Amino acid sequence: MTRRRIVCLLLLLAAAVAGAAIAAGLFAARGRTRPLRLAYQNRIGAALCIVAAEKGFFAAEGVPVEAARFESGPACSEALYSGAADVADMGDTTAVILASRGAPFRIIAGVGAGEHRHRLMVRQDSPIRLPPDLRGRRIAVKKGTSTYGGLLAYLAANSVPLADVKIVDLAPGDMPAAMTAGAVDAFVASEPTPSAAEERGARQLATMGGLGNTYPLVLMARDDVLNARGEDIHKLLRALRRAEAFVAERPDQTAEILARVTGLAPPVARRAMALHVYRLRLDEEVLRSLKRTAEFLKAEGQIEAVPDLSRAADGTYLPPERRQ
């Protein structure tokens, strides 16, 4: 090989190395600036996420967000677990189950709660009037959700063994039609499903309230995203604080936004909102409810161990007054 050819090969090699370095740099830059992928539910409890997305609050805070709506907390959890989402909204039971598996995610904020936000519905002409009447009945619920945890607690509190009812794992959107058709005798869900069923003639048998739990909705985020994009997480939460103020100051406009997303009429959405508290926090009340849920799930054999919330929950992305 001549000296000239060697020099040419070395130049080509150097150009290839430089090109690869430039490409790697561009890829890293895109990784830093790509949108945060936020998964949240199309439910009344997810008002802060819904309002922030619909009103452009994420963009106003300078954080690009790619939002995706799902019908349940477990669907949001799956998006987070699979890597399709960076941050996800879910109920307490879903979050506790995920945390109990030692997955590399942390609870970074509560985004809402409501002691009575889960409701047990039956047909208007149903003979079911009291908790013991549920024995032998088919009850639809989405397993793994906060609602499911509430139902387990409700049955235990009313001395109705789980083995005495038939649990039907069903997506919330399918529950009213299934009950109307007689495929199930009752269902338990969070809003907007109970209100939608009431519009079709269903009646409320009970809420999952009075059991010492506020059923908080929380945000969970991937550890690698928290470590690499902490400032974006701060901006995301600032956008949700904007949404919190909007919900508090403009409840009728909020109801109109939620009505568009959930399919409820605005007055019905407004009534459903009254079953919720919308506050961005990770304080003692939220942590106490999460711990209570975890202990109950452990006692019921739904999880193997109670997760260490001092490790699974991280409120440092919130202002001091909003965390423990």
What is residue 324's predicted lDDT score, i.e. its pLDDT?
Answer: 77
Looking at the structure, tell me whether residues 228 and 313 fall in a common domain.
Answer: yes
**What three-state secondary structure class fits 40?**
strand
Show which of 172, 207, 242 is a domain's final residue: 207
Claim to verify: residue 107 and residue 134 sit in the same structural domain:
no
Q: What single-letter amino acid sits at 245?
A: A
> What is the sign of the dihedral through the CA atoms of 129, 135, 141 and 143?
positive
Q: Render pLDDT for 46-62 as a digit per residue (tens, 0 to 9).
A: 999 999 999 999 999 99
Look over the chain and give the mean of its residue pLDDT values, rounded to a whole number: 91
101 and 220 fall within a common domain: yes
User: What confidence score (pLDDT) does residue 180 get?
Assistant: 95
Flag whether 125 is in a domain.
Answer: yes
Residues 95 and 242 in one domain: yes
Asked if the structure places residue 146 within a domain, the reply is yes
Co-location of 160 and 241 in the same domain: no
Contact 314, 107 (CB under 8 A): yes
Same domain? For 220 and 304 the reply is yes
> Could you say which of 207, 231, 258 is where a domain stops?
207
Q: Please give the model's pTM, rounded to 2 decimal places.
A: 0.86
94 and 126 fall within a common domain: no
3-class SS of residue 286? helix
- For residue 192, say if its preceding peptide bond is cis, omega within 30 degrees of 0: yes
The verdict on 173 and 268 lying in the same domain is no
In a domain, 11, yes or no: no
Do 109 and 318 meet the contact criterion of CB atoms below 8 Å apart? Answer: yes
94 within domain boundaries: yes
Q: Tell whether 278 and 183 lie within a shared domain.
A: no
Do residues 166 and 185 share a domain?
A: yes
Do residue 185 and residue 253 come from a single domain? no
Same domain, 59 and 203: no
Domain that holds residue 99: 35-115+214-322
Which of the listed residues 187, 207, 227 is the one where a domain comes to its end?
Answer: 207
Residue 134 in domain: yes
Structure tokens at 63: 């954080």
Domain count, the chain: 2
Q: In the chain, which stretches have pLDDT less than 50?
A: 1-31
- Which CATH number is 266's domain given? 3.40.190.10
Burial class of residue 300, CB neighbours in 10 A (0-12, 13-18, 19+):
middle
Residue 113 to residue 256: CA distance in whole angstroms:
20
Query: Does a structural domain hold residue 27?
Result: no
Tell me, yes or no, whether 50 lies in a domain: yes
Note whether residue 26 is domain-resident.
no
